[in-house]
Structure 1
Amino acid sequence: MPELSVIVHGPDTRGHLAELLDSLAARPLPDAEVIVAAVGDWARETAAGHAPETVVLPLPDGTGDAAARAAGATRATGRWLHFVHAADGLPAGTVRTVAERAAELPDTVDVLLLDHVRSTWRTAGTRPADGRLLARAGRAELALDDAADLLRLTPLLGTRVLRADFWRAHEERLTTDDDEAYTAYAALLTARRVACLNQVGYDHRVPRPESLPPVTAEERYALVDRYEALLALAQDRAAARTVLYDVMVRDLLRTFAREDMPEPVAREFFRRAALAAVRHRPPGHHRPGGLEGVRRGLLEEGAYTKYRAFQAANRTRRAARAAVRTRKRRLGAKLRDQQYRRALGRRVDPDLAVFSAYWDRGVACNPAAIAAELARRAPWIHPVWVVTKDNAPLLPPGTDHVVPGTRRYWEVLATAKYLTSNVNFPNAVVKRPDAIHLQTHHGTPLKRMGLDQMRHPTAAQGMDFAALLARVDKWDYSVSANSHSTRMWQRAYPSRYTSLDYGYPRNDVYYRARAADVRAVRDRLGIAPGRTAVLYAPTHRDYEAGWTPRLDLAALADRLGDDTVLLVRAHYFYDTPAALTGLRRTGRIIDVSAYDPVEELCLAADALVTDYSSIMFDYANLDRPIVIYADDWETYATTRGVYFDLTAEAPGQVARTQEDLAEVFASGAWRDEAAAKARAAFRRRFCEYDDGRAAERVVRRVFLGESERALPPVVPVADRTPAPTPEEATA
């Protein structure tokens, strides 16, 4: 029995079926089957080209979606069913990811919820807000009464993977008509328990409205009927009913306001919506405040004429406010532009250096290491950090800084001789001929970067590649930690800058720290002597809206035992995860998501567990064990794009499941001879220029103008001595 049956259903009206089936055939899996319930000749002929690997069920023209789904489900043999409309798509790696997640779930879970992207005739891969709800729910198995907000997810059946036995037990309810949204909601309301997968597993393609038949009056009124039927399903479930009522009222009001209905249809729709709003209002339910509360009040009154007048007045008010905001914005931009232009007329200050790290988050990374070395070797050069208003209070005492957008901000950017960043300065920054722009980057690239992201829409979403190249053209120097990075930067960011193959300044500490430094960091973190500290540092995923621990951290801590403490660091893109709040009270898990600098965490850790984060390349300098947890490698590699196969060229052991990971530590494989051999090869390749003197080289070459020949040569990897391990530091 396969774990998953992918049931593709419907007519091939927009010609996407071949593309969908090609993507499925490109990655066949032994634990999944594909069944095409092909409606009409076009779909049948397209699907026939993929037989016998694909099971084809020819269905006559006019067969509805519900009947097509039912036909496919009847033929399916998988434990789980994933219904995919022929007009939609599946992101690469989805089938494997869904099958692996579904295999973990017990028979008490009836529905697995996925994230999705939305594509239209104008845009591709737009992320809705669903991911945040899924991230908040985590990976636990939930009863809907305990997670009723999941009813706010976009009602797409393709984002609900159903257990086959659950489908068969409730097939009549789930195939009442062709209203997919009803079926998507009904599946949740009927399920005993649900689980979430905070990854994009569906591409919903929305056709241009003008390409569809006009919406009839009865189809408009059917929206009200849908919610009334769903509320009947939630009759005895207070939490679900309250959320569903809120969803209904918002949807009905949005439809009334945005859809261009003929006047008689609009009046009747409003009347039916008003009756439903009053009839199904939960006891004690309070309207929201503000304009939304006014709208709901008018709806419940059935005050059609008043509501139309309110709409007109609101449109007028919004237009007036927008005009005022636009005028203020233009005046502000004009003033800032004038100030900046005046500053650009001044001479460049040869003793002024501007630093920025991680989109103005504070003193960190390679810029911080360079600034510290600059203070030792050229104290006459004055550093100014660009830091956001929120992060300014966190700066070290006495740090001179500017807040983006302020008058002094533009003045220092216009007059500084040196501009150093590990990302990029804004597009508006002018590259003066006698100023120097130093790009330090903030990691060795495993994932594709820059122009290489163009072929990966999920990763490239919202990127302006022309503007990116304009920023790259301002670089004078690009810092590199290894020849792999040098080649990838030249490919991803093609321009005339000079590559400084000196190592990453932030990694100097891994060769300069002493035993006392290691002990001091562990003391600050509360790690008792003799305990093994494992740093877990996963990376950001473009196909996830929020951070959900991919490991059951409590279970892992239990398997590792009392002598091991987990240091858990979420990616800086996310807030401190709520999932860690309870776990850190146990003493075996320490949340270090907000701890800076990360280099100190590495010094404190006996081993690193990561997935695809560039921290692995930095940590390898310490020559300590690294374990790769690659549970979604295929999805990550295909969606984000990668430069090499990490699973084949890893710096140590590779685990694909939590059980594998626990066994790696339990068996001692994390630090055995095979792991050491893999790490040695990895260090030779990716720690090529890191020897503890990178910051010195950068400062002497860029800020002091010394020649390349005058700089200290890079010490070979075999001749370096990293900082002592925690065990050595306490010996």
Structure 2
Amino acid sequence: MQPGLSVVVHGPDPQGHLGELLDALSAEPYAEAEIVVAAVGDWARQQAERYAAQDSRMVVVPLPGSTGDGAARAAGADRATGRWLHFVHAKDGLPAGALRTVADRTAELAGSVDVLVVDHVRSTWGTSGAPSADGRFLARAGRRAAPLSDLPQLLRLTPVLGNRVIRADFWRSPEVSALLAEEGVPEDEAYTATALLLGAGEIACLDQVAYEIRELREQSLPPVTAAQRYALVEHYERLHRLLAERGTPEGPRAVLYDVMVRDLLRVFARSGMPEPVAREFFARASRAAVRWRPEHHRGPAGFEGIRRSLLEENAYTRYRAFQVANQKRRRAKSAVAAGRRQITAKLRDHRYRRALEEPVDPRLAVFSAYWNRGVACNPAAIAAKLAELAPHIHPVWVVSRDRAALLPPGTDHIVPGTRRYWDVMARAKYLVNNVNFPNSVVKRPDAIHLQTHHGTPLKRMGLDQVDFPAAAKGLDFDALLARVDKWDYSVSANSHSTRMWERAYPSHHTSLDHGYPRNDVFYSATAEDIRAVRERLGIAPGRRAILYAPTHRDYEAGWSPRLDLASLADRLGPDTVLLVRGHYFYGGAASPLTGLLRSGRVIDVSSYDPVEELSLAADVLITDYSSIMFDFANLNRPIVIYADDWETYAKTRGVYFDLMAQAPGQVARTQDELAAVLETDAWRNEAALKALGLFRRRFCEFDDGRAAERVVRRVFLGESEESLPPVVPVDERTPAPTPEEATA
């Protein structure tokens, strides 16, 4: 039986949004629709195939990663069998109920209707589900179907295919093929969306939201070229030529003309084009404004009328002067206050500004980790490899005054706010951090900012915290983006992280899919190293060491223990030692753990660094939602998830995937369940090890022991991506020996 509606999902998986779209489609069990996913690239294909395996309505059309949007749409439409086609870009979304809403509306339309126009919402990095301006046009049109000549205001609708549902026979007709036949047009979604209205017989409207446009942050997209700016003018020229060829009455032509002039002036005013490009764009826009001005068209009065008159006259210099005058007027009100702030800022950072005038030192690198805590994490591993491969580059660590005494002997360091701090920060060629540097740090054009991160994201990060105020805690997202825009490189341990970083921190940075340098030790450590760590920790040979590393709860004012460690230690017996890494777990001399601490059955390792050594010493990891699980998985040792509050955590913090369904081993929801897992061999049985293997292949994708080398060669030595050591497949790696193997 032919389905009434085919949803054609098309494109790559930009910033990890495809999974959300397919989640929404899978969650709506409307059997009379077909879902065709024209998946561009391997990652989108793998995502789609995973969903298709669970949803019989879903068909996957795999396409090469170089496939453009127009070709992907066409490939998906060719495979679709429904009577109506709803094109949905992989970056966009469908609100709950949209599938049935659209299917029901199209089912009642007469055969003379070629296009159904629906309302939409718009989401950006900082807003979610903002209403469109299209609603008033759709409400005015009502539910009647009519030709465009009767509904010319529909040309003002946002020009995306997602808010047009198209009759399949019309899409495949020679008429539409002719509309899309011009060279380059199939990639132009805005042209296609508008041209379909111009070519349709009758158009119907649906005054209900059935599409979500996700607007990616401009700074995360490739820079717009001059040719693309000029193409916008040609876009409108093509549409006007189409109207002229069809002898379209003045009503639609006047509406399209107004839309064109408004859009061209908006782009000219806001895009910040270089002067030669801006002048040429203005000239082309002027010619189009004169050429296609309807005979009896009357322009608006006031400010907008002046702007349009200057455009039609091609009065570029006068238009710029007009702009400047208005900008001066707007700035005048705040000039005094702004001046005072500038004077204060100049007094505060005068020395820094002077240092910024000095040449960048190509032999100077600044490292920092965890808000200036010391030598740690990925920056530490990179610095160590730098000393080996590029000893001519001098590393300087940023460390807070109270932590300076804890640095390894001989570590060159600077304390924030000191004279040398500003001098070094101004002159350093390389800035390396696993968090962000302060807003006050200037990123010079010839400096290189390397963001290493400090974990694989399960919880929502960056801009994805907008909808989770308990996690964001008043975070200034504009300031965050200003810091993110300084990044040149972003280190990633797996494809999941790459896509989530691109989404949570949208900017022009280059992703280094090289693995986490801090995890190299999991492949280089020897049996002797493991025995030495366990000896330092006081773990007797033959005892099972369990590393318990819970994460922080944003919804709790302070830390409260999730486990009764005394009870658990008693139940597991004297042959098991608990390494507890977290906040102070009971506190005070009267703690019930006092006797266990003295006997060595519980060891507080909260202040022990580096944490990688704790992982090497452990036979098994217990955690809840901490990113340590992704790193520990490199060792191919058992992991147990203790998730007594998963639903609360997921709701308040926000997560990127369902850990309960994709855990790296056994999952316990109560302490009794956890103890039962650890008292038996369930913690390392066949099911647990199978889950670990799947998890490891997904999240240890790039970690093979040579991550630091790849980063140093790529960033500090300038070697090409192709010349770097290739990543060893997960199944071909040999991690460090287990404690049991180390003592054999």
When the two structures are superposed, what TM-score results if normalisation uses the length of structure 2? 0.53
Distance in 2 between the 1:725 and 1:332 partners?
A: 58
Note if 1:362 corresponds to 2:355: no
Matches of 1:409 and 1:546, distance apart in 2: 34
The corresponding residue for 2:401 is 389
Which residue of structure 1 aligns with residue 609 of structure 2?
A: 596
Matches of residues 628-639 of structure 1 in structure 2 within 5 Å? 628-639=641-652
Shift in Å at residue 570 of structure 1? 0.3
* 2:448 corresponds to which of 406, 412, 436: 436
- 1:559 equivalent to 2:571? Answer yes
Q: 1:484 aligns with which of 486, 489, 496?
A: 496
Aligned to 2:707: 694
- Structure 2 counterpart of 1:643: 656
1:677 maps to 690
Confirm whether residue 719 of structure 1 aligns to residue 728 of structure 2. Answer: no
Amino acid at match of 1:372: A
- Cα–Cα, structure 1 residues 332 and 730, in superposed 2: closer, same or farther, change >3 Å? farther
Instruction: Determine which of 447, 463, 474 is the counterpart of 1:451.
Output: 463
Check 1:715–1:405 CA distance in 2 against 1; reply closer, same or farther (3 A cut). same
**In structure 2, what is the equivalent of residue 56 of structure 1?**
none
Q: CA deviation at 1:547?
A: 1.9
Rounded to whole Å, the distance in 2 between the matches of 1:487 and 1:679 is 22
Amino acid aligned to 2:649:
Y
Retained in 1: the 8 A contact 2:561–2:586? no
Measured in 1, the distance between the counterparts of 2:537 and 2:505 equals 39
Secondary structure of the residue aligned to 2:402 is: coil
Matches within 5 A, 1:577-588: 578=588, 582=594, 583-588=596-601
2:255 corresponding residue in structure 1: none
Change (3 A) 1:660 1:695: same
Of residues 488, 510, 513, the one that matches 1:501 is 513
* Deviation, structure 1 residue 680: 0.1
Aligned position for 2:680: 667
1:348 maps to 360
C-alpha distance in 2 between matches for 1:618 and 1:589: 23
Separation (CA, whole Å) in 2 of partners of 1:673 and 1:441: 33
C-alpha distance in structure 2 between counterparts of 1:506 and 1:730, whole Å? 25
Taking the TM superposition and a 5 Å limit, the aligned residue runs for 1:392-541 are 392-541=404-553
- Provide the C-alpha distance between the structure 1 equivalents of 2:456 and 2:647, rounded to a whole number of angstroms: 20
Q: Deviations over 1:357-395 (max 9, x none)?
A: 000000000000000000011111110000001111100
Q: Counterparts of 2:342 and 2:669 in 1: how far apart (Å)?
A: 53
Q: Distance in 2 between matches of 1:710 and 1:576?
A: 52
Partners of 1:436 and 1:514 in 2: how far apart?
35
Please give the alpha-carbon distance, in whole angstroms, between the structure 2 residues aligned to 1:597 and 1:332.
Answer: 41
User: Which residue identity does 1:344 align to in structure 2?
Assistant: L
Structure 2's unaligned 5+ residue stretches are 1-340
Deviations 1:625-659 (A, max 9, x none): 00000000000000000000101100000000000
Are the counterparts in 2 of residues 367 and 421 from structure 1 also a CA contact under 8 Å?
A: yes
The alignment partner of 1:508 has SS state of helix
Q: Give the letter aligned to residue 717 of structure 2.
A: L
The Cα offsets for residues 331-354 of structure 1, whole Å up to 9 and x where unpaired, read as 996544101100000000000000
CA change 1:429–1:576 in 2 (3 A) is farther
1:586 shift after superposition: 3.2
Whichever residue aligns with residue 387 of structure 1, its letter is V
* In 1: Cα distance, 2:604 partner to 2:567 partner: 16
Q: How far, CA to CA, are the matches of 1:459 and 1:514 in structure 2?
A: 39
> SS of 2:547's equivalent?
strand
Superposed CA deviations along residues 570-613 of structure 1, whole A, max 9, x for unmatched, are: 05xx7995568624223200000000000000000000000000
User: CA–CA distance in 2 between the matches of 1:493 and 1:330?
Assistant: 29
Query: SS at 2:466's partner residue?
Result: helix
Taking structure 1 as reference, are residues 466 and 576 closer, same or farther at Cα in structure 2, changes over 3 Å only? farther
Q: Judge which range, 399-408 or 334-343, deviates more.
A: 334-343
The letter of the residue matching 2:552 is H
Q: Deviations over 1:390-418 (max 9, x none)?
A: 11110000001011111111111111000
Measure the CA separation in 2 of the matches of 1:564 and 1:426: 44
Q: Work out the CA distance in 2 between the residues paired with 1:719 and 1:553.
A: 38
Deviation of the 1:705 alpha carbon = 0.3
Whole-Å Cα distance in 1 between the matches of residues 665 and 576 of structure 2?
Answer: 19
Percent same amino acid at aligned positions?
A: 79
Change (3 A) 1:426 1:467: same
Judge which range, 582-591 or 653-662, deviates more.
582-591
- Residue 160 of structure 2 aligns with which residue? none
Q: Name the counterpart of 1:372.
A: 384
Q: Which amino acid aligns with 1:630?
A: A
SS of structure 2 residue aligned to 1:342: helix
> Displacement, 1:545?
2.4
The 3-state SS of whatever aligns with 2:689 is helix
Spell out, residue by residue over 1:8-47, the C-alpha distance to the aligned partner (whole angstroms, 9 max, x if none). Answer: xxxxxxxxxxxxxxxxxxxxxxxxxxxxxxxxxxxxxxxx
| 8 Å contact from structure 1 (residues 570, 577) kept in 2 | no
Write the letter of the residue equivalent to 1:659.
Answer: D
CA contact (8 A) 1:481 1:689 kept: yes
Q: How far apart, in 2, do the equivalents of 1:604 and 1:436 lie?
A: 36
Q: Is the 8 A contact 1:508 1:692 kept in 2?
A: yes
Match of 2:719 among 678, 685, 706: 706
CA distance in 2, matches of 1:507, 1:608: 16
Q: 8 Å contact 1:576–1:593 — kept in the other structure?
A: no
1:547–1:570 contact (8 Å) kept in structure 2: no
Q: Give the whole-Å Cα distance in 1 for the aligned partners of 2:426 and 2:609.
A: 30
Pick closer, same or farther for the CA change 1:577–1:459 going to 2, 3 Å.
farther
Cα contact 2:566–2:593 (8 A) shared by 1? no
Q: Does 1:337 align with 2:324?
A: no
Letter paired with 1:510: F
Contact 1:631/1:655, CA 8 A, preserved across alignment:
yes
Query: Closer, same or farther in 2 for the Cα pair 1:426/1:601, shift >3 Å?
Result: same
Residue 659 (structure 2) pairs with residue 652 (structure 1): no
Q: Secondary structure at the match of 1:723?
A: coil
1:548 aligns with 2:560: yes
CA distance in 1, matches of 2:586, 2:487: 34
Conservation of the 8 A alpha-carbon contact between 2:560 and 2:585? no
Secondary structure class of the residue paired with 1:528:
coil
Matched, 1:615 2:631: no
Residue 499 of structure 1 aligns to a residue whose secondary structure is strand
In 2, Cα distance between the equivalents of 1:580 and 1:537? 20
Equivalent residues, number? 402
Kept after mapping to 1: 8 A contact 2:565/2:593: no
Residues 191-241 of structure 1 show CA distances to partners (whole Å, capped at 9, x for unaligned) of: xxxxxxxxxxxxxxxxxxxxxxxxxxxxxxxxxxxxxxxxxxxxxxxxxxx
Checking the alignment, whether the CA contact within 8 Å between 1:576 and 1:594 is kept in structure 2 is no
Separation in 1, partners of 2:700, 2:414: 34
Q: CA RMSD in A?
A: 1.8
C-alpha deviation, 1:461, in angstroms: 1.1
Is the 1:336–1:407 contact (alpha carbons within 8 Å) kept by the matching residues of 2?
no
Secondary structure class of the residue paired with 1:393: helix
